[in-house]
Chain A
Amino acid sequence: MATELPRKEAAVIGVGWAGGIIASELAKDGIEVIGLERGAERTVDDFIMQKDELRYAVRYDLMQDLSKETLTFRNDRDMRALPMRQMGSFLLGTDLGGAGVHWNGQCPRFLPYDFEIRSQTIDRYGEDKIPDDMPLQDWGISYEDMEEYFAQFDATIGTSGEDNEMTAPRSTEYPTPPMVETPAIRMFKEASSDLGLHPYQGASANLTEAYTNPDGQTIQQCQYCSFCERFGCDYQAKSDPIITVIPTAKETGNFELRTHANVRRISYDGEYTDGVYFIDTRTGEEFFQPADMVILTTYVMNNTRLLLESEIGTPYDPDTQSGVIGKNYCYQIMAEAQGYFDQQFNLYAGAGALAGQLDDYNGDNFDHGDLDFIHGGTIQLTQTGIRPINTNPVPPGTKQWGSEFKEANAYYLFRTLSVGSQGASMPYVNNYLDLDPTYTDRFGDPLLRMTYNFTEQDRNLAAHQTQRMEEIMQEMGANEIVANPDIGDYNIMPYQTTHNTGGVIMGADPETSAVNNYLQMWDCENLFVVGASAFPHNSGYNPTPTVGALSYRAVEGIKQYYENPGPLA
């Protein structure tokens, strides 16, 4: 029997960026909020010894413990899904602050095109441009209507950056100036300018100067220390939830945080939720947390899984292409061109979001009339700071061990530059999430099952981006360029990116979407499901500013609902 706890007005499940933003905004408004986080508490004192590649970047100290919970994976429906036994392709967050603690902090906004992708594609190229098996959907809200929420997120985290004609229009200045231009980044920008492209310094949550946000939280100045992606920042210079929204929530006195609280079920009577069941992972004891409103912010995987396990909303069925939960799982189509140079660059220095970048081949910024794909991807030369275990850039054909390897590695380590594209990922009827019939987590609950592979669209997009990047590398004067235009089948092991999206998508129609444009569930009006799970497709950019903006959008809906319960759209 679950022990019943005192009722709260709002229960936020999972306290990362999305949960932290929502908790802080509701608590500021006087709403009594409890945050239930499965992982441990975490403060900046945890990061004093953070400059340890093996522990954090290789053994994934800050990430989800897969012995307790993972997912299963197969490329297509004819394969047997097998557990992701080790982490690889993406790195799931856990503990207070979630993945927001060990992100890079690259902060682009999605394009206006993204929010109305279906209508704009049809307007410009006609209905035939969209393949039958691509459930491409508008998001149910325009960028124009989303802009104020993007601005709120930027103000909270202090985004550093500079304007560019190819990026989404802004109503406010970047709160802090752009990051420094390193010699390698300058080379990239000069080469791409010479090719007629429009490079700029990427938007960043590694701040270039100390910044105090509207809530009074201060973020410090980045030291380009290079232990950024996969690490917590020991300088408090990378905006993360534990130095911004979570302390803001706590300071209101209206926010109670409960860690080691692993939510297993959302209680649902077919119309409303009245709270959630969780296990205290330290003792195994089960609790029921009653709440007037539940906000689910456990990231893509568990947002989808908890709805399926709680039987809220209709599960997606790929045979009939009906149902919504688990639909439109998308990822990111990564491509790369590596160049070898004579010159040595100070590549051991860097920051997670230090990048020269261009969007000439992103969104619909270029004509797709004669191309066999839609959308594109941002192209970047990032200088995140290389670390020696994970970076051994020896030219192809070099023996991978012995003296030949040692010598090549020592020579090329600081003479290799890489230009990468984060390609957009379009939905496909057979790429989806459901519950695994065989494998379970430590509580005996079914694991999430991911069915996913790259499509023709993805392969064509990646090949196109690779060619563009080779042109840039050539112009940069590389002696030798290595690029593979063929992305093959999706493989769950090599790290690609932690930009998973979809599963609980937003839209204007309950038949084709799970949540409305306030992230309120069509099938459960006092349940809001927030995160990249709401993206109907993934853009050619990092997702978090759009997650942040949707969180602020949801806040507005939740506040309205609190005053005046009922469907919001």
Chain B
Amino acid sequence: MADENDEQNSGISRRQFLKNSGYIAGGLVGGGLLGGVFAQNFLGTTDAPDIDTDDEVDTTSPGELTQARMFFKRQEDFDVLSAAVERIFPDDDTGPGAISLAVPYFIDKQLAGEYGFNSREYMEGPFFEGAPTQGPQTGLLRRDAFLHGVRTIQNIAEDHFDESFFDLESETQDEILEAFEEGEVDMTGIASDEFFSKLRTATIEGAYSDPVYGGNLNMDGWRQIGYPGSQMSYTNVIEEEEFVEMDPVSLHDHHE
């Protein structure tokens, strides 16, 4: 159980800061300093902990400690991303959606590294628009394309619907994403359908890649399609007529 001193020794946490500063107690949630979504992330949208309790129980699981932003500096960008990927891969009867699978964190981590910088791709000029058969020819880095993309989504939501993208009804969110998919949105350095296709691919990657990358939380991306992950051997099932279901395993099981 953490007491006041422990809290201080480890530095003041954002949670503690919010509590102490009275922003929550005063019911003042939102605004420039704290960002409109702090309640969503820190307290959960429906289930805010009782902030009046003196006993601070740290319920953060070790896994959740890796859930913070490495790339997206602005909370708003991350929230637009989250809402968009949740439409691409929604929570539904088939299984958990992108947010439950931590896909936004996956994408954030990917953009922070090699993938975001297109490190292993040829990025020398001169740049020309090529034929469709010549592959991507943009000099725009993926990290910039994603930032530009989520901000364009948000601008459209605000311009046309007077609301943040993440506050819109899902049908309206879909309409906006469809406009991107159809290539109807003006963007700089990348066509909107290309951006949508990148976003879709990144979402699928986040849902179905090994949990080591921060998505596919609890392997629930795999569970909902019956994919058994990275089993060591299939010599027992390879000739089976019947479909064999098994609990998935991940790289964690391969690592001592």
Q: Is B48 an interface residue (CB 8 A)?
A: no
CB atoms of B200 and A400 under 8 A apart: yes
Q: Given the complex, which residues of B lie within 8 Å of A86, measured CB to CB? A: 121-122, 135-136
Given A182-B238, A409-B225, A410-B94, A492:B255 Cβ within 8 A: no
Instruction: Determine if A195 is an interface residue (Cβ-Cβ < 8 Å).
Output: no
CB–CB B88/A401 < 8 A: yes
Q: Is the CB of B123 within 8 A of A85?
A: yes
| Chain A residues positioned under 8 Å from B65 (CB to CB) | none
Residues of chain A with a CB closer than 8 A to B233's CB: 223-225
Within 8 A of B (CB), among A215-243: 223-227
Q: Is the CB of B225 within 8 A of A83?
A: no
Q: Which residues of B contact A322 (CB under 8 A)?
A: none
Least Cβ distance of A524 to chain B in Å? 31
A49 with B254: in contact, given A73-B134, A227-B230 (CB under 8 Å)?
Answer: yes
Question: Closest chain B residue to A75 by CB distance?
Answer: B133
Pick from B28-36, B50-58, B205-213 the stretch touching chain A: B205-213
A417 to B188, CA, bound (A): 41
Chain A residue, CB-CB nearest to B114: A59
**Binary flags per residue of B109-132, CB closer than 8 Å to A gives 1, else 0:** 000001100111111101010111
Residue of A66, A223, A413 touching B234 (CB-CB under 8 A): A223
Identify the stretch in B6-14, B38-46, B161-169, B240-248 within 8 Å (CB) of chain A at 4 or more residues: B240-248
A83-B124 CB under 8 A given contacts A51-B254, A67-B119, A224-B235: yes
Q: Are B94 and A439 in contact (CB under 8 A)?
A: no
Please state if B251 and A58 are interface contacts (CB–CB under 8 Å): no
Query: A48-B254, A54-B213 are contacts. A349–B94 as well, Cβ < 8 Å?
Result: no
Inter-chain CA distance A226–B233, complex, in Å, is 9
- Report the stretch among A33-41, A282-290, A340-348, A372-380 that lies at the interface: A340-348
Give the residues in chain B near A367, CB-CB below 8 Å. none
Residues in B with CB closer than 8 Å to A392 are 204
Given known A58-B205, A85-B122, A406-B95, contact A388–B227 (CB-CB < 8 A): yes
Residue of A nearest to B133 (CB): A491
On whether the beta carbons of B119 and A410 are closer than 8 Å, the reply is: no
The yes or no answer to B146 lying at the interface (CB within 8 A) is no
B residues in contact with A181, CB < 8 Å: 239
Q: How large is the interface on B (under 10, 10 to 19, 20 to 34, 35 or more residues)?
A: 35 or more
User: For the complex, what is the distance from the CA of A389 to the CA of B131, rounded to whole Å?
Assistant: 27
| Residue pair A413, B134 in contact (C-beta under 8 Å) | no
| Known A346-B237, A349-B237; contact A54-B210, beta-carbon cutoff 8 A | yes
Give the complex CA separation of A492 and B122 in angstroms.
Answer: 14
| Residue of chain A at shortest CB distance from B250 | A51
- Residue B231, interface by CB 8 Å: yes
Q: Which residue of A lies closest to B177 (CB)?
A: A401
Q: Which of B209, B238, B240 touches A53 (beta carbons < 8 Å)?
A: B209
B224 within 8 A of A: yes
Q: How far is the CB of A275 from chain B (nearest CB, A)?
A: 30
- Taken together as a complex, chains A and B put the C-alpha atoms of A98 and B29 apart, in Å, by 57
A392 to chain B minimum Cβ distance, whole angstroms, is 7
The complex places the Cα of A198 from the Cα of B137 at a distance, in Å, of 45
Residue of A nearest to B222 (CB): A388
Q: How far is B205's CA from A388's CA once the two chains are assembled, in angstroms?
A: 9
A52 B251 Cβ-Cβ under 8 A = yes
Is the CB of B226 closer than 8 A to any CB of chain A? yes
B128:A54 contact, CB within 8 angstroms: no
Verify B131–A75 contact, CB threshold 8 A: yes
Asked if residues B120 and A65 are in contact (CB atoms below 8 Å), the reply is yes
Residue with the highest number of chain B CB atoms closer than 10 Å, among A75, A86, A350, A401: A401
The digit string for A346-369, where 1 denotes a CB below 8 A from any CB of B, is: 101110000000000000000000
- Tell me whether A82 is interfacial, beta carbon within 8 Å: yes
B90 at the A/B interface (Cβ < 8 Å)?
A: yes
**Which B residue's beta carbon lies closest to that of A179?**
B238
Contact of A346 with B119 in the complex, beta carbons under 8 Å: no
B93 close to chain A: CB less than 8 A: yes
Say how far B149's CB is from chain A's closest CB, in angstroms.
15
Other A-B contacts than A227-B230, A407-B94, A491-B133, 14 sampled, CB-CB below 8 A, are A51-B229, A51-B230, A52-B209, A52-B210, A83-B122, A86-B136, A180-B238, A183-B240, A349-B238, A401-B87, A403-B90, A403-B93, A491-B132, A492-B134
A sample of 16 cross-chain residue pairs with beta-carbon separation below 8 angstroms, ordered by A number, consists of A49-B255, A52-B251, A66-B122, A74-B134, A75-B131, A85-B121, A223-B234, A345-B243, A348-B228, A407-B93, A407-B94, A410-B94, A413-B227, A438-B126, A440-B124, A490-B133
Nearest 3 pairs of A and B residues by beta carbon: A51-B230, A349-B234, A223-B233
